[in-house]
Structure 1
Amino acid sequence: MNLIKPKKLQQGSTISIVAPAGNVDKSKLQVGINYLEKQGYKVKLGKNLFNQNKYLAGKDEERAFDINQAFADTETDAIICARGGYGAIRLLDKLDFTTIRNNPKIFCGYSDITALSAIILKKSGLITFSAPMIQSDFSNNEIDKFTETNFWETLTSSKISIKPNNPNFYFYGAAQGITFGGNLATLVSLAGIDFIPDEKFILFAEDINEDVYKIDKYFRQLLNIPKFKKNISGIVLGDFIGIDNEIWLDNLFKELAIELQIPVISNYPISHSRHKATVPYGANAILNENGILEIIY
């Protein structure tokens, strides 16, 4: 794959906000907008940002329009999603990948936005970012300091290192490949379409409020795909918040490591919590034997 690297964010850059999934809380979003402007950035809002269609931020065509328009807009330097929720998977056949490929820019989001990052990588080769979102992470007065600092450092740099906190090594070793993964449940929802990288990849994964048997099922569904099992070279595990049994989860990861015989390491700051790292999605990476994930983008 010919990876496309977006330009780095600079002071005074213009950030467009879009809502590909759940509907937006206008007052909360305004707090996030104020935060961006205080950091010295200009802000543009998607035309349909505040639309609502049941639990979605407008109709599918409206949400997809805002994404395509933000990529096409010559004034926009970066695109940050307002929030996750549900709905991104409904837009996969409505994105203009030619426009995205010809107008590469920073694209940020996590959770449900995993679906967009995965398909944008597959269809255009653009490196995106599993990263904080405006309403979800920047709409309160107590932004996690690590989350904030790491976010801006990642978007303005070309190389980062992500270190686990008290790592649990289920299988030792080193790995190379592009970064791929995100929210596990959302990634699995793509099964049935062509979304898996053709080259070796290091899977990073996290989830929230899923019982261990579901996490087991998600991994098994992915591993039942021949290309996935062939190309996975390492697993970097973030938080699995709200699970029903820590011991079962630990045993599941041990079993995966034994089965795959590749590095499997946990306790990375990849999370639905307030404390999260920004992870370049689709970038070349090396997972060292000491657990440090080095990413060049």
Structure 2
Amino acid sequence: MIKPRKLQSGDTVALVSLSSGLAGEDEIRWRTEQGIERLENVFGLKVKVMPHALKGIDYIYNHPEKRAADLNSALKDKSVKAIICAIGGNETVRILPFIDTEALKNNPKIFTGYSDSTTNHLFFYKYGISTSYGPALLTDFAENIAMDDYTVEAVKKTWFSTEPIGEIQTSPFIREAGLRWDFENKNIERPKYNNPGYESINGTGKARGHLIGGCLEVLNNLRGTEYFPGLNDFKDALLFLETSECTLDPEIFEDYLRAMAVMGVFEHTNGIVIGRPFNGLYYAEYKEVLRTVLSEAGRIDLPVLYNASFGHNEPKFIVPYGLQAEIDTEKLTFKILESAVVN
């Protein structure tokens, strides 16, 4: 995989809205500004807001070509060292025909986002560029009161250092979702509760492989398109999966996983890392579904580590695509064995 260059204080990062245009809505602008201030004050970065990023939900929806234009411009801009998605959504796939693939291939940069951004990540992956399944502006950087230390440390370790990332522990606590992004809630800290840590729910021992995956709902929506990874991409991989705030009914969760099993995805992978379900809903049910589907697929041996702190969880760590990683279902550890960036 081609790795982007590391960040350092004083660098410029670009803000893009490649999915939803929520960041440009009047009632949300306070939160957008708060996220930008955190990038500036916590990490010493300069923020370049791309021309169409804050034009609002309707404009962003109606102009996928303008969203792509922002991405293309950020890729070509030599002063921009990283690209940060404002938030997810549900139809960023519409921008892909407008992306300048030469600009993408010739200008590898840190790219971060999660949820619907899975589509963008897989598009980068198609061209051999490692990206970060990680924080978005409106969620993580704009967290009420202050950013969580766990997320701050993940950013510094992943984007500001060329040392191997190493062991990734789960976050010590979990933020409860549900507090609306109303201005009057700005200074209310979201409730948090203890995180019990990783669980081993299938197979035994260690597994190593390159990281590939994302949000399960988005992966399901890409099945049958040219943007879904080929089976060779899953060969000897560590597959990381998580679910969104839509909180899939366990039967639908089962259908999505079974489709991947029928396609041969689990036959090729060396192991799986599963993110904690959103707000912990269906926590026990999802475990049983995973065991059932893997048993059907003849993979009762496949190591699976459950309850990881990424995706639709705050605080979160960053999962860099294509990097070699290792899980240990006996020691309950997850390690990323190389750096995500270069000098």
TM-score in terms of structure 2 length: 0.80
**Structure 1 residue 268, shift from structure 2 partner:** 1.2
Residues 55, 248 of structure 1: CA spacing in aligned structure 2 closer, same or farther, 3 A cutoff? Answer: farther
Deviations 1:56-107 (A, max 9, x none): 4551001111111111111100001011122212222222222111100000
CA distance in 2, matches of 1:274, 1:115: 21
Partner in structure 1 of residue 139 of structure 2: 136
Question: Which residue of 144, 158, 170 maps to 2:202?
Answer: 170
Question: Which residue of 253, 256, 275 maps to 2:290?
Answer: 253
CA distance in 2, matches of 1:243, 1:270: 13
Partner in structure 2 of residue 273 of structure 1: 313
After TM superposition, the structure 1 = structure 2 runs for residues 19-34 of structure 1, keeping only pairs within 5 Å, are: 19-23=17-21, 24=23, 25-34=28-37
State the one-letter code of the partner of 2:229.
Answer: I
CA contact (8 A) 2:254 2:293 kept: no
After TM superposition, the structure 1 = structure 2 runs for residues 140-151 of structure 1, keeping only pairs within 5 Å, are: 140-151=144-155
Residues 88, 153 of structure 1: CA spacing in aligned structure 2 closer, same or farther, 3 A cutoff? Answer: same
State the one-letter code of the partner of 1:214.
Answer: I
CA distance in 1, matches of 2:119, 2:289: 24
User: Quick check: 55-64 or 5-14, which moved more?
Assistant: 55-64
State the one-letter code of the partner of 2:332.
Answer: G
Partner in structure 2 of residue 293 of structure 1: 334
After TM superposition, the structure 1 = structure 2 runs for residues 52-63 of structure 1, keeping only pairs within 5 Å, are: 52-54=56-58, 56=60, 59-63=63-67
Residues 56, 224 of structure 1: CA spacing in aligned structure 2 closer, same or farther, 3 A cutoff? Answer: farther
Max radius of gyration: which structure? Answer: 2
CA contact (8 A) 1:19 1:57 kept: no
Question: Which residue of 29, 33, 38 maps to 1:35?
Answer: 38
* Secondary structure of residue in 2 paired with 1:80: strand
Question: Which residue of 68, 75, 87 maps to 2:72?
Answer: 68
CA distance in 2, matches of 1:120, 1:136: 23
* Secondary structure of residue in 2 paired with 1:37: helix
Q: Is 1:234 paired with 2:271?
A: yes
Partner in structure 2 of residue 196 of structure 1: 229
Residues 247, 138 of structure 1: CA spacing in aligned structure 2 closer, same or farther, 3 A cutoff? Answer: closer
**Structure 1 residue 177, shift from structure 2 partner:** 1.8
User: How many residues are treated as equivalent by the alignment?
Assistant: 293
Partner in structure 1 of residue 243 of structure 2: 207
CA distance in 1, matches of 2:146, 2:214: 25
* Secondary structure of residue in 1 paired with 2:210: strand
CA contact (8 A) 1:131 1:279 kept: yes
**Structure 1 residue 53, shift from structure 2 partner:** 4.8
CA distance in 2, matches of 1:283, 1:81: 21
Deviations 1:23-49 (A, max 9, x none): 113221111111111131111111101
CA contact (8 A) 1:71 1:99 kept: yes
TM-score in terms of structure 1 length: 0.91
CA contact (8 A) 2:241 2:273 kept: yes
Deviations 1:192-242 (A, max 9, x none): 12432524211111113211111111111222223x244322110111125
After TM superposition, the structure 1 = structure 2 runs for residues 212-223 of structure 1, keeping only pairs within 5 Å, are: 212-223=250-261
CA distance in 2, matches of 1:100, 1:200: 26
Residues 146, 191 of structure 1: CA spacing in aligned structure 2 closer, same or farther, 3 A cutoff? Answer: same
Residues 172, 41 of structure 1: CA spacing in aligned structure 2 closer, same or farther, 3 A cutoff? Answer: same
Superposed CA RMSD: 2.0
After TM superposition, the structure 1 = structure 2 runs for residues 43-58 of structure 1, keeping only pairs within 5 Å, are: 43-54=47-58, 56=60
* Unmatched runs of 5 consecutive residues or more in structure 2: 171-196
CA distance in 2, matches of 1:21, 1:34: 22
State the one-letter code of the partner of 1:163.
Answer: Q
Q: Is 1:184 paired with 2:190?
A: no
State the one-letter code of the partner of 2:119.
Answer: A
Partner in structure 2 of residue 264 of structure 1: 304
